[in-house]
Each structure stands twice: as C-alpha cells, then as structure tokens.
Structure 1
Amino acid sequence: MTMKQVDPGVEAGTVPVLEPNSLPNDLVSALKMAQPSDEDMGTVAALRASSDPWKSRGETQEESLQALTQLRPYIQVAKLQSQVVGYVTVERDGPVPGAAYMRNIVVRPDLRKRGLGMVLLNHAVNTARDMYRKTIALRVDPANGPAVSFYRKAGFTTVATVVSKKSGKLRLLMSREL
C-alpha cells in the first residue's frame, strides 16, 4: 500500500474543478465520507488511473474502473462540495491475520497537505473498528518517504518487508493497533 501521487492531468470531464475561492477555510470539517455512487466511481477510477503505481504500470481509466468495481464494497469516498476529492479502501481481511487491510488512500493533488489524508486514515481506522478488528495493516513502498513518515506519525510500525506479487518490488508491511 502506498500513498498515491495523483497528476493534475485527470480528464477534465471526469474530475470537476473546485474553485479555490469557494472552498471553506476548514476543509477537514467540510469533508463528508460516503459509499461511492455509480457516478462517483468514474471519478474514483480517474484518480486511480492517474496515480502511481497504476499510472506507471500504464493502467487505463477503464481498467481502473474494472478493478475498483471489485473493491466497491470496501471503498469510501471523501466529498467536498459534493465532489469526490479522495478515497480510501478498507477490507476486513488482508496480509496480517486478524487485521483489517487498508489498500489505498488517494487525495486530489490540489488538496494535499491540508489534513484530508489524515481524515481518510482516521475513517479507515474507524471502519476497521466497526469490523471488530483490533489491528489495521497496510503495505507501502519503502522509497516513498513521505508516505512512510505519514504512517509512522499516525502510529503505524513496520512489521515485515514483503515482496509485491504484482510488481516484484519490496514493500513495508506496517500495522497499528486500534
């Protein structure tokens, strides 16, 4: 699991532009979490397709939508002014026995470093608690220093180094007690 970098080059018709002057001062309190609607799934797919590691793998928006459709029960979108600005996926089971698994966090690049990632992470933690899990786990690329630092600040510790089945690259397996 890595924090995703999203390019601003998302298709114009898919991710609506937010007017900076119309944004509330406190984005965190204005954020609403929800299950994605059918319309939201296109925006979520656009965010994923233009994010690493999917972008560097050449994944298209259609392929992203197909993959996300399988994950849909686990996706929670963050909305600001009724527009998707990020998402997180949390599954009941993952690579650590008995732990919930946080697969992705994606935040629009124009809204990064404003606390939205932490809102998504806290939502994932609460979702894991609602699943009666006592631990949440994730995988992250060790070369992604900002993501590793973000998770460590949030109380995650490295429990193992694993090899990704898809990419063959090393990943840190991190977890946190709830």
Structure 2
Amino acid sequence: MTMKRVDPGVEVAAIPVPDMANLPNDLAPAVKFSVPTDEDLASVAALRSSSEPWKSRGETMEDSLKSLTALKPFIHVAKVQNQVVGYVTVERDGPVPGAAYMRNIVVRPELRRRGLGQAVLNQGLQVARDMFRKTIALRVDPANAPAVSFYRNAGFTTVATVVSKKSGKLRLLMSREL
C-alpha cells in the first residue's frame, strides 16, 4: 500500500463577527486594507463561499480557499476592528486590453449600505492606478441589479455582454476610466 503525504494547509473556519454595537454607521473611515495573511485568507474564503454567486454554485470554503490561494497576490483585504469585512481582487490584465481587471469585490452582507462597498471599490481603483492603468474592467451578472446599479453609480459603463466560461451565463463587461 502506498501512503500519500497530505499537506495540512490552512484551517478554514467561520468568519469572526465584528462587534456590531460599536461600529459606526459610516464604515469607510474605519476600514483598513492589507495584503492577506494565511489566517485572513481563511476568513476571506469563508466570506466568499457564503456570498453570491459562489454560494448558489455550491462552492465550499475549501473550494474558495483553493481559488483564492491562486489569487493571493491580487487580494486586498478590508478589515474593521481587525476582522475581515470584505475584499477586492485586482489584476493588472483582464478581458479589456490595457485595463486592470477587478475579478471580485465582496462585502459582508450585514455590513452593506454603510459605505464599506464604496471603500472597497475605491481601494480597487487605487490599486489599478498604482499599476499605472488608465482603465479598470469587471464582469457582473445582469440579474444582480444592486451590483449593476452600484457600479453604474461609480461611473462604470457596459462595454459588452459576454458569456461566462465557468457558468455559461451572460455577464455584463463594464469598465471605467481611472
């Protein structure tokens, strides 16, 4: 019998909840951004797997952790009270030639509509500027009306409708100048 050595990897646990009673209504000034530690990556994986569209696809925390590990150099973690509350991934190149690509932007559902999404988006835009890009692009499900509205309000316009390689569903390809 052959034995296969298994790498213990990073333990994936539930996302710790910030002390909601002590959070300000406007979270933007309280957000701190950092590159993810291994512990952060586990929290980000838990957040991703419990968010759409990954949740409806049946993505587990382990699946999310595997995907995010490959994206680690591009992840910027948002923290409030030293707890992960969101993240954004920005890559130098994507589907629009010469534009940075914002692959994911996720915010804890219970903290939405408190300025956190805008703070995470602004971080993504700044990261793209730091890459010396003049444009940033993203893909979004056209059925996700709140997200489409959020991006349009932030100055994004639809440049194409594309088919997702993973799901086979239509996605809006949106971009904006930096």
Q: Taking structure 1 as the reference length, what is the TM-score of the superposition?
A: 0.90
* Equivalent in the alignment of 1:89: 89
Tell me the matched-pair count: 166
Q: Which amino acid aligns with 2:57?
A: R
* Equivalent in the alignment of 1:54: 54
The Cα of 1:14 is off from its aligned counterpart by: 2.3
Q: Which has the larger radius of gyration?
A: 2
Q: C-alpha separation between the residues in 2 aligned to 1:48 and 1:25?
A: 24
Contact 2:100/2:136, CA 8 A, preserved across alignment: yes
Q: Deviations over 1:98-138 (max 9, x none)?
A: 00000111111111000110111111111001001000000
Q: C-alpha separation between the residues in 1 aligned to 2:115 and 2:128?
A: 20
Alignment gaps of 5+ in structure 2: 1-12
Alignment gaps of 5+ in structure 1: 1-12
The Cα of 1:26 is off from its aligned counterpart by: 3.8
Q: Which amino acid aligns with 2:172?
A: L
Contact 2:92/2:101, CA 8 A, preserved across alignment: yes
Q: C-alpha separation between the residues in 2 aligned to 1:32 and 1:53?
A: 25
Q: Taking structure 2 as the reference length, what is the TM-score of the superposition?
A: 0.90
Q: In the alignment, does 2:164 pair up with 1:152?
A: no
Q: Which amino acid aligns with 2:107?
A: V
Q: Which amino acid aligns with 2:40?
A: D
Q: Deviations over 1:30-86 (max 9, x none)?
A: 110110111101100001111111111111100100000000000000000000000
Q: Which amino acid aligns with 1:176?
A: R
Q: C-alpha separation between the residues in 2 aligned to 1:26 and 1:163?
A: 36
Q: In the alignment, does 2:23 pair up with 1:19?
A: no
The Cα of 1:25 is off from its aligned counterpart by: 4.7
Q: C-alpha separation between the residues in 2 aligned to 1:94 and 1:51?
A: 23
Q: In the alignment, does 2:95 pair up with 1:98?
A: no
The Cα of 1:15 is off from its aligned counterpart by: 1.1
* Equivalent in the alignment of 2:74: 74
Q: C-alpha separation between the residues in 2 aligned to 1:64 and 1:37?
A: 15
Q: Which amino acid aligns with 1:87?
A: Y
Is the partner of 1:87 in helix, strand or coil? strand
Q: C-alpha separation between the residues in 2 aligned to 1:17 and 1:164?
A: 33
Q: C-alpha separation between the residues in 1 aligned to 2:139 and 2:150?
A: 13
Q: In the alignment, does 2:136 pair up with 1:120?
A: no
Q: C-alpha separation between the residues in 2 aligned to 1:142 and 1:119?
A: 23
* Equivalent in the alignment of 1:6: none
* Equivalent in the alignment of 1:3: none
Is the partner of 1:98 in helix, strand or coil? coil
Moved over 3 A (4+): none
Q: Which amino acid aligns with 1:120?
A: V
